[in-house]
Amino acid sequence: MTTNRPLTITKNVLWMITGCGLIAGISRLIFGLGATTALTDITPWGLWVGFDVLGGVALAAGGFIVSGMVYILHLQEFKPLLRSTVLTAFLGYLAVIAGLTIDLGRPWMIWSPTINWQIRSALFEVAWCVMLYTIVLALEFAPVMVEKFPRIGYFLNPLKKITIPLVILGIMLSSMHQSTLGTIFVLLPFRVDPLWYTPWLPLLFFASALALGLAMVIGESIISGWLFRRELEYSLLQRVARLLKYALIFYLALVLANLTFYGKLALLFSGSGISMLYWIEILISAVGPIILLSFSSVVSSLGGLGVSAALVAAGFVLNRLNLAIFSMVPITGYSYFPSGMEIAISCGILAGAILIFFFFVENFHVYEPLPLKESADDDLSPPVFDRSTEVWLGPRLIRRTAVHLLYFSLGASLAFAFLPQSALEGALPQKTIVSRPRGLNPMIIDGNRNRQIVIFDHDKHIREQGREKSCLLCHHMLKPWDEGTSCSECHQDMFLKTLIFNHSFHEKKHEGNKGCQKCHKENEPKTPENTKVCTECHTTMVVKGSRIKPQSKGADQFKFAVGYKDAMHGLCVNCHQEKAKEYQQRREAGEPLISRAGVFWSKEEWISRERLHFCPTCHRRVEYTKDPIPMIIQPQKEVKGDSIPLFLTSRLGEVKNEIP
């Protein structure tokens, strides 16, 4: 058997990855970004922008470089590489469009930039360049397809005639496009890490695209030579390698000039994780390959060339990823790691593009007919029987297609099996992690979903929040799909009801057990129902006309001071609104706009926070004075150094003294 095993295995793996990506992609298109990605309001761009769009465009740079060398500079010796690099660029751009379709929130509006112009947007230029350059690449590659079908041969001549204008247009669009991709990030000075952020980004992008394009030519020739068992254009590749070295030196010089010009060299040696990434990127993409390519032994060996090209490609893809992800995420203070589906779709698009590349290489005249190492054309060999079952497996071509399909569906089913729940049902809000210790009431819950576990007394919450009515306080409060409202929803100190009844104080005051009957009824269970109400002894506790209303009935009614939010919505806001109305009425009636103390007040003072947000306003009669402005009274708790602004701490003493 003369099967081309490496090629078959590669293709099977690629089919499998494509299957994975397809399922993930379908789920993404049906259920939306939230259900399938790890993107958030803080990190709205992720792997797809960094890898598929930026990386894809960069890797496609070989197309315009080789076509420029062949057609514009008349370097005819590079012609054997022309068709495959144009094809790679074309597929690269198709991959970019596929990546965009997946990444855009509203992919059915992808045509929008053609009609809705906004020339001040860098992304608008990028959109037009992607569109036009894809068309240009399609036209540049069209002759290869047309010459295969003699029936439509009359297209061939017009296509060949416009080659030169097309190539020039392609170079113009590519140059603009590669650099404008960098301009996109110039608008984000606060989002991009200072090490990467520079107004020179368009220049750096262009220079790196030149180098990357050359590296792609080398890498691609070597890989397809290995897979399709072709002899390589050695001497050519060595010339490309020399050019690559100069392009890299140019890029490195630009990078260093940029860092020096903006005084960022010191950041390189800060030793942080981010600066390490920058080092890795520069070493892989430029310094390493330059050193490697300076040795003639490396340039003359296949492995050396391959390693150098791979380093450059990896380095510049890392550069794009660094810019779009690693320099933009840590600065937010939050983390982003792509979800499995994001990775699956990215890999699927890449694998699909490579498969299409193989298809064209096998069926069209992409490579010059160079001597093959050995016959790979085994599709015409006789049919195969399975010896054990004597079943005819069909001609080899059909058999192989069947195998590919098998791997494809294997990948698809694997992806389907590992889809997260959200990718099958649409995005679901987060659930509270609750686990109940065996046989105990107190539950251990992650009440605020911040991975801090607290002991939660469920019974006590039921008891204190009104029995049956209490469920909806936590389990159905505003957030219907949530299992429980987070603790912080009620337990910020401003929302906390304050327990103002001190039992042990009363116990001590009434001489311990002797004094029980002073409040509790004799010989009856000591429940709130059988207990005196506070106001029976403390007759002056609630002044006449007070706005404070008891929270509950029975003996419990004065046990709690009203919570801040209840006070706010029940009292404060109403009071401000009432005062505003009173002011309006007085003004219309022509009554004097004065306070009870006889001082004139402006409208601001009638409704001001200081006047009305002052405990004695509701709790007892006080005479208002215009100056000094009564301050907000701090709740009696430990005042920590930084938690209260200077403005308040400096005046807190005064305020305390003012209150009798």
State which of positions 419-458 bind other proteins (CB under 8 A): 426-427, 429-430, 449
- Looking at beta carbons only, is 108 or 269 nearer to other proteins? 108
- Binding of residue 33 to other proteins (CB under 8 A): yes
Minimum distance from CB of 5 to other proteins (Å)?
43
Rg, Å, the chain Cα set: 37
- Looking at beta carbons only, is 397 or 453 nearer to other proteins? 453
- The 3-state secondary structure of 290-330 reads HHHHHCHHHHCCHHHHHHHHHHHHHHHHHHHHHHHHHCCCH
Minimum distance from CB of 613 to other proteins (Å)?
7
Minimum distance from CB of 190 to other proteins (Å)?
4
- Binding of residue 576 to other proteins (CB under 8 A): yes
Among 3, 476, 525, 495, which residue's Cα sits nearest to residue 229? 3
With CB under 8 A as the contact rule, the residue among 52, 193, 342, 482 that binds other proteins is 482
- Binding of residue 613 to other proteins (CB under 8 A): yes
- Binding of residue 112 to other proteins (CB under 8 A): yes
Binding mask 276-315 for other proteins (x = CB under 8 A): ----------------------------------------
Residue 24 half-sphere exposure toward CB, CA atoms < 13 A: 29
Among 635, 634, 574, 633, which residue's Cα sits nearest to residue 607? 574
- Looking at beta carbons only, is 172 or 287 nearer to other proteins? 172
With CB under 8 A as the contact rule, the residue among 237, 328, 415, 534 that binds other proteins is 328
- Binding of residue 608 to other proteins (CB under 8 A): yes
Number of residues that bind other proteins (CB under 8 A): 97
User: Measured between alpha carbons, how far is 503 from 559 in angstroms, rounded to an integer?
Assistant: 10
Minimum distance from CB of 312 to other proteins (Å)?
23
- Looking at beta carbons only, is 171 or 195 nearer to other proteins? 171
Structure tokens at 470: 């209490």
DSSP 3-state of 640: coil
With CB under 8 A as the contact rule, the residue among 198, 208, 224, 486 that binds other proteins is 486
578: enclosing H helix or E strand: helix 573-589
User: Measured between alpha carbons, how far is 605 from 124 in angstroms, rounded to an integer?
Assistant: 52
Q: Interface residues for other proteins in 462-481 (CB under 8 A)?
A: 478-481
* CB 14, CB 351: distance < 8 Å: yes
Structure tokens at 36: 């399938």
Structure tokens at 156: 């061939």
- Binding of residue 168 to other proteins (CB under 8 A): yes
Strand partners, 520: 531
- Looking at beta carbons only, is 112 or 301 nearer to other proteins? 112
With CB under 8 A as the contact rule, the residue among 2, 9, 34, 373 that binds other proteins is 34
DSSP 3-state of 405: helix
- Binding of residue 322 to other proteins (CB under 8 A): no
With CB under 8 A as the contact rule, the residue among 31, 246, 364, 418 that binds other proteins is 31
- Binding of residue 169 to other proteins (CB under 8 A): yes
Q: Interface residues for other proteins in 121-160 (CB under 8 A)?
A: 121-127
Strand partners, 468: none
Any residues with CB less than 8 A from the CB of 17 and at least 6 apart, and which? 344, 347, 348, 350, 351, 411
E strand residue ranges, 488-583: 498-499, 560-561
The stretch among 66-74, 282-290, 374-382, 513-521 that binds other proteins (CB under 8 A) is 66-74
- Binding of residue 191 to other proteins (CB under 8 A): yes
- Binding of residue 580 to other proteins (CB under 8 A): yes
- Binding of residue 627 to other proteins (CB under 8 A): no
- Binding of residue 596 to other proteins (CB under 8 A): no
User: Measured between alpha carbons, how far is 349 from 336 in angstroms, rounded to an integer?
Assistant: 21
User: Measured between alpha carbons, how far is 501 from 484 in angstroms, rounded to an integer?
Assistant: 29
With CB under 8 A as the contact rule, the residue among 6, 44, 383, 437 that binds other proteins is 44
* CB 343, CB 28: distance < 8 Å: no
